[in-house]
């Protein structure tokens, strides 16, 4: 079992399989992706070594993310490999949803349990303004398809100052009939996006108060749950989650580790550096990877330092997948 010096156990791995993305979200890659080419990222064999080591140390849930994970040509192979790794009980992914309509059934057949789709607005014009892609309708068709094939569906929506008016109303109307969990995420500052952050960040706490006043009730967290505090309401088919990284004690329930597409372990989304495991992975050294992971976990800090504006090595979240 992976446990750090603060008694936190890590059952959940977020694995970035590429840094590349074809969306231009204002808060992430507003000028598009211009990083390393796809052949620089971990191969299927390296991913296999990594997953085997993590699973041996008690990891039961893996989220595939990026960049946009579905840009990898071997994405279905990665899904199959993840689902077939002994010990991994739950396979999730985060996507912009552009390919969901076409592939939801194939991804489900490959072993996917849960998909998180990023939809920052249900207003097509706002969606296009935020993401640089006029694809809301296609993404929503993909989301319906994901529900049809039996995937557990969550939606990520960032809280942004410019886009708050009427957004909640639209989302609530939609949640009445749509059985998804909609997670509102407080914008986090990253190295490349400080200006955007200063203009757009808003605390999620007023939204929490509003939801409680409307009769939304908190749910108990599962052991391998993500960072969201979730709420349900008897009149709604969907649920709401709040991810408030600036709130007190956010890091106390941290149960996840991250690996970048180039094989670096990040003990926190905002750690000062990634710890390079590439050689161990290239040489398919499972035992060495296990030893490395056990050894470095003591370096994990108690909290991130975002409150002080310290964003560590993270320039934007396409590097690590959020």
Quote the strand ranges of 27-104, DSSP E.
Answer: 61-66, 90-95
Sheet hosting strand 239-243, strand order edge to edge: 217-218, 229-232, 239-243, 181-186, 152-159, 114-118, 90-95, 61-66, 12-18, 256-259, 264-266, 275-276
- The 139-158 contact track toward ligand SAM, x by CB under 6 A, reads -----------------x-x
Is residue 226 near ligand SAM by the rule CB under 6 A? no
Binding residue for ligand SAM (CB under 6 A) from 48, 61, 63, 68?
68
* 188 contacts ligand SAM (rule: CB under 6 A): yes
Work out which of 2, 17, 20, 28 binds ligand SAM, going by CB under 6 A: 28
Helix (H, G, I), strand (E, B) or coil at 258: strand
Which one of 51-59, 89-97, 142-150, 271-279 is the stretch in contact with ligand SAM (CB under 6 A)?
A: 89-97
Check: CB of residue 315 under 8 Å from CB of residue 192.
yes
Q: Work out whether 322 is an interface residue with ligand SAM (CB under 6 A).
A: yes
Rounded CA separation 211/91 (Å)? 30
- 29 lies in the binding site for ligand SAM (CB under 6 A): no
Task: Map tokens 């914008």 to a residue.
Answer: 187
Please, which residues bridge with residue 155 across strands? 117, 182
Query: Residue 52 or 181: which CB sits closer to ligand SAM?
Result: 181
Of the residues 59, 82, 85, 94, which one makes contact with ligand SAM according to CB under 6 A: 94
Q: Measured between alpha carbons, how far is 105 from 65 in angstroms, rounded to an integer?
A: 18
Each residue 37-66 as x (binds ligand SAM by CB under 6 A) or -, in order, gives: ----------------------------xx
Kindly list the residues in this chain that would bind ligand SAM in the complex (CB under 6 A).
Answer: 21, 27-28, 65-66, 68, 94-96, 118, 156, 158, 185, 187-188, 190, 193, 317-318, 321-322
């Amino acid at each position: 079992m992976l446990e750090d010096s603060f008694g936190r156990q890590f059952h959940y791995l977020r694995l970035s399989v590429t840094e590349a993305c074809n969306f231009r979200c204002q808060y992430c890659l507003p000028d598009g992706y211009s990083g390393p080419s796809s052949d620089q990222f971990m191969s299927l064999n390296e991913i296999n070594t990594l997953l085997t080591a993590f699973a041996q140390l008690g990891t039961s849930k893996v989220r595939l993310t990026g960049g946009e994970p579905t840009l990898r040509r071997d994405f279905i192979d990665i899904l199959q490999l993840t689902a077939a790794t002994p010990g991994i009980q739950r396979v999730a992914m985060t996507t912009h949803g552009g390919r969901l309509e076409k592939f939801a059934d194939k991804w489900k057949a490959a072993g996917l349990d849960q998909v998180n789709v990023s939809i920052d607005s249900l207003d097509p014009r706002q969606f296009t303004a935020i993401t640089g892609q006029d694809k809301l309708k296609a993404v929503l068709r993909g989301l319906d398809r994901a529900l049809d094939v039996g995937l557990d569906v969550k939606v990520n929506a960032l809280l942004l100052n410019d886009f708050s008016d009427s957004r909640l109303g639209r989302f609530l109307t939609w949640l009445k009939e749509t059985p998804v969990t909609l997670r509102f995420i407080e914008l986090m500052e990253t190295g490349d996006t400080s200006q955007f952050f200063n203009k757009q960040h808003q605390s999620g706490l007023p939204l929490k108060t509003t939801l409680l006043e409307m009769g939304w009730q908190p749910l108990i967290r599962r052991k391998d749950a993500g960072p969201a505090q979730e709420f349900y309401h008897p009149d709604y088919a969907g649920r709401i989650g709040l991810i408030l990284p600036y709130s007190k004690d956010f890091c106390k329930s941290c149960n996840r580790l991250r690996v970048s597409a180039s094989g670096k372990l990040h003990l926190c989304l905002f750690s000062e550096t990634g710890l390079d495991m590439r050689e161990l992975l290239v040489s398919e050294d499972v035992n060495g990877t296990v030893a490395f992971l056990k050894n470095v976990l003591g370096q994990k800090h108690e909290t991130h330092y975002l409150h002080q504006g310290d964003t560590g090595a993270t320039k934007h979240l396409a590097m690590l997948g959020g």
